[in-house]
Amino acid sequence: MGIPELKYIENVPAILQQSGISLKQKYFNEIIDISSEIGFLKINIEKCLNEGVVLHVLERIKDKYLFSFHSNNLLLSSNQGTLNDKLIKLKLLTEKFKPLNIS
C-alpha cells in the first residue's frame, strides 16, 4: 500500500483551487477593515441561520470577498428550527450572497 494517487478534478473553478480561510469572530474587524488577496472565505453556515453578528459581517464584506458556505451538522442540530426552515434559510442566504461553493 503506497500513497494514493491524487487525481485532478475537472471543472473546478480556478478560485477554489486557491487558498481560502475560515471566517472567525476574532478576525471580524480585520476582515472588515482591510482587503486581502484571500482566494475566498469559508463561512460556517450554521452561524448565519439565526441572523446574528456573522450575517451582519457578511453584509459588510460581500463586495470584497468571495464566499464558500460550509456546514458540519445542518441536519443534526435541532435548536434552530425544523429542517425545512433551515433549508429555506440556506436557500435565501445562497441567493443573497451567491457562494462559490456549498459543502
Spatial CA neighbour of 94 closest among 76, 74, 79, 80: 74
CB 99 within 8 A of CB 69: yes
pLDDT by position in tens, the chain (length 103): 555 554 555 666 665 566 788 888 888 888 888 877 777 889 888 777 766 778 888 999 998 888 998 887 765 555 556 777 778 888 888 999 999 888 8
For the chain, the structural domain boundaries read 18-102
* Residue 74 burial (10 A CB sphere; 0-12, 13-18, 19+): middle
pLDDT at 88: 84
Supply the pTM of this predicted model.
Answer: 0.71
b/e map 5-21, b = 16+ CB within 10 Å: eeeeeeeeeeeeeeebe
Grid cell for residue 48: 448565519
Cα-based distances in Å from 69 to 3, 6, 42, 99: 30, 24, 6, 6
What distance in Å separates the CA atoms of residue 87 and residue 80, rounded to the nearest whole number? 11
The set of cell numbers assigned to 58 is 457578511
